[in-house]
């Protein structure tokens, strides 16, 4: 089979105005970026139309290191629905340059299920990540400048700065540094560092903002640090919320692109799925629901991390109720969770596969707890046997889930017809209930964490480090205990131990730290070491990326 | 008079397709960015059409701290020419976000002579600065990653890294730092720092590249550091020139916008005018000359810095021959150079004005040495007296220069009719000769510097610091002595002493360092302390920037 970029290149794209026209959007509603990308005026979002739209969440079981194909599955499902004559619109996250030039590759699907133009989406796209980088770092410069010029004045003096800088690159050298060296003309020495742009609180804010006013309010609510009197110091205290919002004004509009088969996709926002909520922007979801009858969206990592945050943070905030959830599985992931050595997961292994279903079982039960009707999408590989597939199909049907094979990667929409039909039938016959949250906002922060750990992850004990306990008090003191929580843990296990595959039960879950994201509007509960700035591998993908006859090679 | 942004807002913009159509460009030649900005396919550049075009350089006498209005004069001249029925096209530099949120403001002209949409041009524009930031920092990450993963292998080991990171923000805290802290998983501790994006060698490269292939060659030629064997280590040794070029592929296309009066302007590239050559991209100049009969471009700072580099670096490289040069003066700058206290330069002072003409005299003689026919543009203020104006007019006419009043700021193109007519007449009657360079490429680096210092600046002695002397040897050893030079000195004096106003004569000129920009293709000769990362003032402009009813306030 050809490479992703070869397949992408062979696809004749439609002008973005034509894609927009299919959504009843006029050229005047678009801010074009070249011929095949456009930002769409978010004032066209219609609550009325949203009510008539069917939202579908695509999530996954606990993934392997290579991922499990959520984005590809999402795109193929949309393409399949379109082949069945339905008006399907995607709402997806935008890729980050860091992993694209590092190891993981882009985030535009694969094979015959991609969003296009994949090279442009994977590179600078419409500049959203750059705008966030700019806004984040302008804020850092303005804060350091405030501290610098106001030393010894009667203005609030800061004793601790928690705001960091960001860049959209994998760069381990920037994780920890001492800045402001070189004498007093060059600032004040400070321990600081850079995160990757997707980890910026501003990214999470952009993805949760309802409109420009809400964006500005959230920016103003960002906690930057603490004064010597131990008072919180917010962006509003710095007085630059307006300027930072100005830098994000265009980025707030969702981006419209197309699938390989000419369907519509809003690709907008890409916050981290551990230290943030990991979903595309609310703008994109709402715009997709205002223009499509079936809206397919995804949430980062497995359902324990991604879907939980999708429901408890995003759906709660915006009153969204998906009609169905698609749980992506692969035989390889099942075998890995079933105890098969990773080197052997592409070979038949019935017992391993069967054992791996325990992992599916927990995710399925969780989704059902959230009120969801679930379709298990089995992404088929050439080495999967009939018997293995039937085993999984039977198991699903016995556990209250529908089952469908998916061959979207190798066949595009055609390969996703079974999945599309199964999803349609589920929505028609047994749609999801309204979302049942894992916790109430009125619960204490401890109770919120406990409810997610016990009822979603399957843990038993929760412990708080001394630092986290101190932060609990601070959060209460600042009156932020009614915020939802965003648990940052490994994506490779239900527990906080990445080597604990399959299902983990009755484990202790250790909260090392609590981070206040008062702009985004959640409290991050950190369990274990969280990487906020990735590094590059020994042979980064960048070495394979180049231009040949004006065409880009090496993107995937 | 209304503020710049108010005037900009009141102007009804034409669709960029219409501006393009006036240049005989089809919609298919454009990559639109919204409705009023577009990148233009540089493959439309035509050497044949360029031969028929009249290039006009706008430069200035030694400026005051507030600048002297080169961009505003350039725009007004273009507008004036259009009113006279000529097809005039601008080629200008793009603004940087740092000064825009700091103190200096944007760079889109002022009053009734602006390029529009000024807010978008001053903010993210078409993402060129962001692409350069990305490319520069991706390169830094890839380099650090190479060093990190190859410690102790038989691959070349670096003892010195000269490549720095950049951000498009004024941030003094980032000037000097120690990165790579936090243990061996987080890189290798290193003394480093950030420059502002406009100071990146990649910015200079983008502005000098003839095509994509040339861009890639220049990227590959960037010197990153030295190995323990004292061998140079270039981007080509790192093997990522292709990937970095991919990040700059779109940025290389020049950006088309419009003047307040609906004329065409290519606004593209913005390298520093001291440590780089300070002109808009060659792409923009060539595209403007392929589409306009009269092309107005500018060079940063006074003619000693900007025009010299424009001629010796850019014109030499691209075989450009301006038909005339416009030397911008104001009565305030004249009086400042004539010894009048800066607090009093807005009051009549004939003697001061007359003394200040000595500064004009040196710039005029320099331009004439380069072969230029010169029009002195006197930017008129309400406090200028008839007598003062006549004095300057007579002086110019006595020194072989034409003279014209300009009221472009207050009146737009109408106010620049005298200037436009004078420029047209000069081009018709006494066009410039072909450019006579200040030095030959075959001269040694010392001789090149000496010729500029003696013949352009008016200095007498040149001294090299021990560091610069060492670099001279290194440059010879690397076979780079045939590159042109780019002298980095203060813009406030002919000498290397910023307090030495008026004319400086017979001074010693001290070269502190020589920097190899083998990608851009010049050697930077540093005289004095060069700021590569500005700081923010106590009350940065950002505090005045905000959104009101969806409109941006506070940009200028």
Put simply, whether A144 touches B (Cβ < 8 Å) is yes
Nearest-Å Rg of the Cα atoms of chain A is: 23
Chain centre to alpha carbon of residue A505: 26
Q: Please classify residue A17 by burial: count the beta carbons closer than 10 Å to its beta carbon, then call 0-12 exposed, 13-18 middle and 19+ buried.
A: middle
Whether residue A65 is annotated as binding a ligand: the answer is yes
Q: Which of B149, B186, B543 sits opposite A538 (nearest CB)?
A: B149
SS3 label, residue B536: coil
Q: Is A243 in contact with B545 (Cβ distance < 8 A)?
A: yes
Q: What is the dihedral of CA B154, B155, B160, B165, to 10 degrees?
A: -150
Inter-chain CB proximity B179 and A177 less than 8 Å: yes
Are B46 and B289 in contact by the 8 Å Cβ rule? The answer is no
CB nearest B134 (choices: A168, A185, A239) = A168
| pLDDT at res. A442 | 98
Structure ipTM: 0.96
Q: pLDDT above 90 covers what percent of chain A?
A: 90
CB contact under 8 A, A171 and B133: no
Residue (of B326, B398, B385) closest to B353 by Cα position: B385
Is the distance from CB of A167 to CB of A174 less than 8 angstroms? Answer: yes
Distance CA B378, CA B330 (A): 6
Specify whether the CB–CB gap between B232 and B241 falls below 8 A: no
Q: What's the mean pLDDT when you consider all of chain A?
A: 96
The whole-number pLDDT of residue A182 equals 96
Closest by CA to B502, choosing from B357, B377, B290, B348, is B357
Residue for token digits 């790192």?
B238
Which segments of chain B belong to CATH 3.40.50.300? 4-127+252-429
Considering the segment(s) A4-127+251-429 as one domain, its CATH architecture is 3-Layer(aba) Sandwich (3.40)
Q: Are B69 and B110 in contact (CB under 8 A)?
A: yes
Q: Do B547 and A176 count as a contact with CB atoms less than 8 A apart?
A: no
Residues 6+ away with beta carbon under 8 Å from A316: A435, A437, A441, A484
In CATH terms, the fold of domain B445-526 is Formyltetrahydrofolate synthetase; domain 3 (3.10.410)
Neighbours of B409 (CB within 10 A): 24
> At how many degrees (to 10) do helices B466-477 and B445-452 cross?
130
Domain(s) of CATH 3.30.1510.10: residues in chain A: 128-248
Beta-bridge partner residues of A91 = A266, A297
Q: Considering only CB atoms, which chain B residues are within 8 Å of A31?
A: 33-35
CA B372 to chain centre: 19
pLDDT confidence bin for A555, thresholds 50/70/90: confident
Residue with tokens 């240049």: B23
Q: CA-nearest residue of chain B to A534?
A: B186
Do B110 and B556 touch, CB atoms closer than 8 A?
yes
H or E segment at A540? none
Burial label, A301 (beta-carbon count in 10 A; 0-12, 13-18, 19+) = buried
β-strands B109-110, B113-116: how paired? antiparallel
How far, in Å, CA of A470 to CA of A445, rounded?
13
Distance of CA B123 to the CA centre of its chain: 18
| Interatomic CA distance for residues B41 and B487, integer angstroms | 33
Give the contacts of A468 (CB within 8 A, at least 6 positions apart): A511, A512, A513, A514, A525, A526
* Spatial CA neighbour of A360 closest among A391, A329, A384: A329
As a CATH number, domain B4-127+252-429 is 3.40.50.300
Domain with CATH 3.10.410.10 in chain A: 445-526
Give the tens place of pLDDT for each residue, B369-406: 999 999 999 999 999 999 999 999 999 999 999 999 99
Q: Give whole-number Cα distances, B340 to A85, B322, B356, in Å.
A: 79, 34, 9
Nearest to A240 among B144, B165, B542 (CB): B542
* Cα–Cα dist B129/B305, whole Å: 23
Chain B: residue nearest A188 by CA? B173
- Chain B residue whose CA is closest to A145: B536
Cα–Cα distance between B533 and A398 in angstroms, integer?
Answer: 65
Class of domain A128-248: alpha beta
Q: String of b and e for B166-180 (b: at least 16 CB within 10 Å)?
A: bbbbbbbbbbbbbbb
Cβ within 8 Å, pair A177-B178: yes
CA neighbor of A523 nearest in space, from A452, A472, A477, A463: A472
pLDDT in tens, A299-349: 988 999 999 999 999 999 999 999 999 999 999 999 999 999 999 999 999
Is pLDDT at A106 greater than 80 in this prediction?
Answer: no
Task: State residue B388's pLDDT score.
Answer: 95
SS (H, E, C) B53-80: CEEEEEEECCCCCCCCCHHHHHHHHHHH
Residue A64: per-residue pLDDT:
86
φ/ψ (deg, to 5) at B86 = -95, 155
CA B73/CA B121 separation, integer angstroms = 18
A105 annotated to bind ligand: no
* pLDDT value at residue A66: 81
Using the predicted structure, report yes or no on whether residue A103 has a pLDDT greater than 90. Answer: no
- Per-residue confidence in pLDDT tens, chain B, 556 aa: 899 999 999 999 999 999 999 999 999 999 999 999 999 999 999 999 999 999 999 999 999 888 889 999 999 999 999 999 999 999 999 999 988 998 866 789 999 999 999 999 999 999 999 999 999 999 999 999 999 999 999 999 999 999 999 999 999 999 999 999 999 999 999 999 999 999 999 999 999 999 999 999 999 999 999 999 999 999 999 999 999 999 999 999 999 999 999 999 999 999 988 889 999 999 999 999 999 999 999 998 899 999 999 999 999 999 999 999 999 999 999 999 999 999 999 999 999 999 999 999 999 999 999 999 999 999 999 999 999 999 999 999 999 999 999 999 999 999 999 999 999 999 999 999 999 999 999 999 999 999 999 999 999 999 999 999 999 999 999 999 999 999 999 888 888 888 888 888 889 999 999 999 999 999 999 998 788 999 999 999 999 999 998 899 988 7
Residues composing chain B: 556
pLDDT at A104: 66
Cβ distance of A134 and B250 shorter than 8 Å:
no
Beta-carbon contacts of residue B499 (< 8 Å; ≥ 6 apart): B492, B493
Q: For residue A502, what pLDDT is reported? A: 83
State the DSSP code for B15.
P
What does the DSSP assignment read for B119-157?
A: HHHHTTTTSHHHHHHHHHHHHHHHHHHHHHHTTTSSSPP
User: Is pLDDT at A501 greater than 90 in this prediction?
Assistant: no
Smallest CA-to-CA distance from B483 within B528, B440, B526, B452 is with B440
Give pLDDT, residue B73. 98
Q: Which A residues, 524 through 553, put their C-beta within 8 Å of a C-beta on chain B? A: 535-536, 538, 540, 542-543, 545-547, 550, 552
Contact with chain B for residue A35, Cβ under 8 A: yes
- Nearest chain B residue to A177 by CA distance is B179
C-alpha to C-alpha distance for A513 and A441, rounded to whole angstroms: 20
Contact B388, B348 (CB under 8 A): yes
């Amino acid at each position: 089979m050809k490479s992703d970029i070869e397949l992408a290149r062979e696809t004749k794209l439609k002008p973005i105005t034509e894609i927009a026209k299919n959504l009843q959007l006029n050229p005047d509603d678009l801010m074009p970026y070249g011929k095949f990308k456009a930002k769409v005026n978010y004032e066209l979002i219609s609550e009325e139309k949203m009510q008539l739209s069917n939202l579908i969440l695509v999530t996954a079981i606990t993934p392997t290191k290579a991922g499990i194909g959520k984005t590809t599955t999402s795109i193929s499902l949309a393409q399949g629905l379109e082949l069945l004559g339905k008006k399907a619109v995607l709402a997806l996250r935008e890729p980050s340059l860091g992993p694209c030039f590092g190891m993981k590759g882009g985030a535009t699907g694969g094979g015959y299920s991609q969003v296009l133009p994949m090279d442009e989406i994977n590179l600078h796209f419409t500049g959203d990540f750059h705008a966030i980088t700019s806004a984040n770092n302008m804020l850092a410069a303005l804060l350091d400048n405030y501290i610098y010029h106001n030393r010894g004045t009667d203005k609030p003096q800061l004793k601790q700065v928690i705001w960091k800088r960001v860049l959209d690159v994998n760069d381990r050298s920037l994780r920890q540094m001492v800045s402001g060296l070189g004498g007093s003309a060059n600032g004040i020495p400070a321990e600081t560092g850079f995160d990757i742009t997707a980890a910026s609180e501003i990214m999470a804010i952009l993805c949760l903002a309802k409109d420009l006013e809400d964006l500005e309010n959230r920016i103003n609510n960002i906690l930057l640090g603490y004064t010597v009197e131990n008072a919180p110091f917010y962006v509003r205290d710095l007085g630059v919320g307006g300027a930072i919002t100005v830098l994000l004004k265009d980025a707030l509009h969702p981006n419209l692109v197309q699938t390989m088969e000419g369907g519509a996709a809003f690709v907008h926002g890409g916050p981290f799925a551990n230290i943030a909520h990991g979903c595309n922007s609310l703008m994109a979801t709402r715009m997709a629901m205002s223009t499509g009858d079936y809206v397919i969206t995804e949430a980062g990592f497995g359902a324990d991390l991604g879907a939980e945050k999708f429901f408890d943070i995003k759906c709660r905030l915006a009153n969204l109720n998906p009609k169905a959830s698609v749980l992506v599985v692969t035989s390889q992931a099942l075998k890995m969770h079933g105890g098969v050595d990773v080197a052997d997961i592409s070979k038949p292994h019935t017992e391993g596969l069967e054992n791996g279903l325990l992992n599916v079982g927990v995710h399925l039960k969780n989704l059902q707890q959230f009120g969801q009707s679930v379709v298990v999408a089995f992404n088929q590989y050439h080495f999967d046997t009939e018997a293995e597939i039937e085993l999984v199909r039977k198991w699903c049907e016995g556990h209250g889930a529908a089952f469908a094979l998916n061959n979207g990667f190798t066949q595009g929409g055609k390969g996703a017809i079974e999945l599309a039909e199964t999803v349609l039938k589920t929505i028609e016959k047994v749609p999801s209930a309204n979302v049942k949250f894992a916790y109430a906002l009125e619960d204490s922060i401890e109770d919120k964490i406990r409810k997610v750990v016990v009822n979603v992850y399957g843990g038993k004990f929760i412990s708080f480090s001394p630092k986290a306990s101190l932060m609990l008090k601070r959060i209460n003191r600042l009156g932020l205990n009614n915020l939802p929580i965003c648990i940052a843990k490994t994506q490779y296990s239900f527990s906080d131990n990445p080597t604990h595959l399959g299902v983990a039960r009755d484990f202790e879950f250790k909260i090392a730290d609590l981070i206040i994201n008062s702009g985004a509007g959640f409290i991050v509960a950190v369990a274990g070491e969280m990487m906020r700035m990735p590094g590059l591998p020994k042979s980064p993908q960048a070495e394979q990326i180049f231009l040949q006859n004006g065409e880009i090679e090496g993107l995937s």
